[in-house]
Amino acid sequence: MPEPAVPPTPPVPLAALLAREDLALRQIAGPAGPGVVLHGAHTSEMADPYPYLLGGELLLTAGVHIPDAAGAYPDAAGRAGPGPAEHLEAYVSRIVAAGGAALGFGLAPVHDTVPGALVAACEAHGLPLLEVPPRTTFSAVARAVWQLLERARTAELRRVTEAQQSLATAASRPDPVPSVLRQLARRVAGRAVLYGPEGTELAGAGAASAADAPLAELARLLLTRASATAGDTAPDGTHLAAYALGAGRGFVLGVAAPRRDPGDHTIASVAAVLLSLLTGEHQSGPGAARSSALVRLLLGAAPAEVAPLLGGERWLVVHARPDTQVLAPLAASALGAALGSPLVDLGHDVVRVLVPAGRAPRPQPGWTLGVSAETAPADWPAADAQAARALARARATRTALVRHAAGSGLLGLLPEEEARAHARAVLAPVEASPAGAALLETLRTWLSLHGSWDRTAVALSVHRNTVRQRIARCAALLGTDLDDPDVRMELWFSLGQR
């Protein structure tokens, strides 16, 4: 006979139903206490209710199928069947086998009292028996059960939601792993342990108990399996659960709790996801390499030294701005994934992505991109400036992606140092002015956009009158006519050498 399947929903204590004064129910047989719970209510007058029960129900009956005295049921051939006592013994045993939680017997309209044989059978089989008075309908009892269940579901949902929020808050603290374990242990009223690749305890929260050894054994067992979760019960009755953190990374979350409420698995699963994120990129592979590169940069290493750890020798810098949506970490991470790089920086109004040169960026829906020329790590700052100018031009021309044009042309005919010296001399009056940087950037953008005031204003996010004032100031400082094509050509040449 298969085990009854109790629904995975929060039950309600039978005592809560008995406490309803409007129902006037009275328990006359069977066990009582907080361990007796209900998962639903069902009314049936079938002599064998087993096929119609799911498990955990309060079965309500008026006893239509019960012989009224010492008579016996006839069978299909008209022969005498079992008497009342035997019939009720079989009836109660079938309810218990189906997983029924309790039996409610109505005193009207068939029976004036609860049959003594039914009381004896329920007492013998440990099935709680309730007397339902004539004025209480089965519909009222069932409605009360479902109301209590709905309250229990709401309370459990609130508990799970509050637990999820507290776990997320714990994950953002300076000591995220211990904080998450502490919150989990508190929420399940038990113990939470993080085990390492060898099955050794790395961190734990909650009071130690006799269940620690079985929990560690369950965690080690999970490391040898392909499954993501495992469960067991300790000799002292403690409920054990283990969750693998990530695929093949060797970390396991173990949870030991005195009881297993329906929402506990959800709460533990959320903690497992958070711990997977917290432990996932710090032991091996690309995540460890990126961490190592960051540490070396902070300790003073040159970019060229740490670049091999990041996976490339030549790089592109991409600047991006969303067309409509507000900048958010999730959107920035998604953009980095689309461009094939986890090296993403979310700034105030722009996302910057460092991309290996072999992964040529393509236009991305909802974004405007500016891409630098390929560069070595030593020239990352220059590439960053190139990407910024390319993005400004892309926004001004309403183009999804603009790449920095780095061709040499006639510049290749001149020695680099002489070209740079000439450029510094030409631009010195503007560069030496108080607002030199803003003036030179405005001049560069204005020339790149063929003297368009409106598009330059869009590219720089300023008013068109500001552009006019800055260009006029540049013309005054340089003492030249910016409408002259030769002057513009020389200035463009000089700006390209900065």
Q: Which of 478, 410, 408, 471 is CA-nearest to residue 444?
A: 471
Contacts of 54 (CB under 8 A, 6+ apart): 4, 5, 6, 7, 39, 40, 99
Least confident of 59-68, 194-203, 378-387: 194-203
CATH code of the domain containing 44:
3.40.1390.20
* pLDDT tens for each residue of 489-498: 888 888 877 6
Residue 85: both structure tokens together: 């006592």
| Domain boundary, last residue among 384, 406, 428 | 406
| Domain boundary, last residue among 237, 264, 280 | 280
CA-CA-CA-CA torsion for 442, 445, 450, 455, nearest 10 degrees?
Answer: -90
Percent of the chain residues past pLDDT 90, beyond the cut: 31
Q: If you average pLDDT over every residue of the chain, what do you get?
A: 83
Quote the CA–CA distance of 406 and 316 in Å, as a whole number.
Answer: 13
Alpha helices in 188-239 (DSSP H): 212-223
Pairing of strands 191-195, 251-257: antiparallel
Q: Please indicate, yes or no, whether residues 379 and 448 belong to a single structural domain of this protein.
A: no
* pLDDT tens for each residue of 425-470: 888 888 888 888 899 899 989 888 888 899 988 888 889 999 999 9
Q: What residues does 43 pair with on adjacent strands?
A: 60
Helix, strand, or coil here: 432? coil
Residue range 17-40: mean pLDDT, rounded = 92
Is residue 305 situated within a structural domain?
A: no
Domain total of the chain = 4
Quote the CA–CA distance of 213 and 190 in Å, as a whole number.
Answer: 14
| Domain boundary, last residue among 116, 149, 182 | 149
Least confident of 26-30, 179-183, 404-408: 404-408
Residue range 82-89: mean pLDDT, rounded = 79
More confident residue, 200 or 216: 216
Least confident of 27-31, 234-238, 393-397: 393-397
Residue range 32-41: mean pLDDT, rounded = 89
Is residue 286 situated within a structural domain?
A: no
More confident residue, 77 or 117: 117
Q: Please indicate, yes or no, whether residues 17 and 116 belong to a single structural domain of this protein.
A: yes
More confident residue, 99 or 300: 99
Quote the CA–CA distance of 425 and 406 in Å, as a whole number.
Answer: 22
Amino acid, single-letter form, for residue 415: P
Is residue 2 situated within a structural domain?
A: no
Q: Please indicate, yes or no, whether residues 368 and 456 belong to a single structural domain of this protein.
A: no
* pLDDT tens for each residue of 318-334: 999 988 766 767 677 77
Q: Please indicate, yes or no, whether residues 415 and 401 belong to a single structural domain of this protein.
A: no
Please give the angle made by the CA atoms of 330, 335 and 341, to the nearest 5 degrees: 110
CA distances from residue 87 to 43, 90, 152 in whole angstroms, order as listed: 19, 5, 36
Q: Please indicate, yes or no, whether residues 126 and 53 belong to a single structural domain of this protein.
A: yes
Residue 87: both structure tokens together: 């019939």
Quote the CA–CA distance of 73 and 61 in Å, as a whole number.
Answer: 18
CATH code of the domain containing 419:
1.10.10.2840
Is residue 291 situated within a structural domain?
A: no
The pLDDT score that the predictor gives to residue 285 is 54
Q: Please indicate, yes or no, whether residues 62 and 35 belong to a single structural domain of this protein.
A: yes
Would you say residue 72 has pLDDT above 80? no
Contacts of 94 (CB under 8 A, 6+ apart): 48, 49, 50
Q: Please indicate, yes or no, whether residues 422 and 438 belong to a single structural domain of this protein.
A: yes
Report whether 201 contacts 216 (CB < 8 A): yes
Is residue 360 situated within a structural domain?
A: yes
Provide the residue range defining the domain that includes 211.
172-280
Q: Please indicate, yes or no, whether residues 264 and 353 belong to a single structural domain of this protein.
A: no
Q: Please indicate, yes or no, whether residues 142 and 178 belong to a single structural domain of this protein.
A: no
Is residue 300 situated within a structural domain?
A: no
Residue range 396-406: mean pLDDT, rounded = 82
Is residue 158 situated within a structural domain?
A: no
Quote the CA–CA distance of 72 and 169 in Å, as a whole number.
Answer: 67
Is residue 483 situated within a structural domain?
A: yes
Residue range 95-111: mean pLDDT, rounded = 92
Task: Give me the residue label for tokens 């508990």.
Answer: 159
Q: Please indicate, yes or no, whether residues 53 and 182 belong to a single structural domain of this protein.
A: no
Q: Which helix (H) or strand (E) holds 463?
A: none
Q: Which of 229, 135, 155, 234 is CA-nearest to residue 190?
A: 234
Tell if the pTM clears 0.85, that is, is over it: no
Q: Please indicate, yes or no, whether residues 346 and 424 belong to a single structural domain of this protein.
A: no
Report whether 394 contacts 405 (CB < 8 A): no
Q: Please indicate, yes or no, whether residues 227 and 244 belong to a single structural domain of this protein.
A: yes
Q: How does DSSP assign 143-154, residue by residue?
A: HHHHHHHHHHHH
The pLDDT score that the predictor gives to residue 4 is 43
CATH code of the domain containing 204:
3.30.450.30
Q: Out of 6-15, 123-132, 414-423, give the one with best mean pLDDT.
A: 123-132
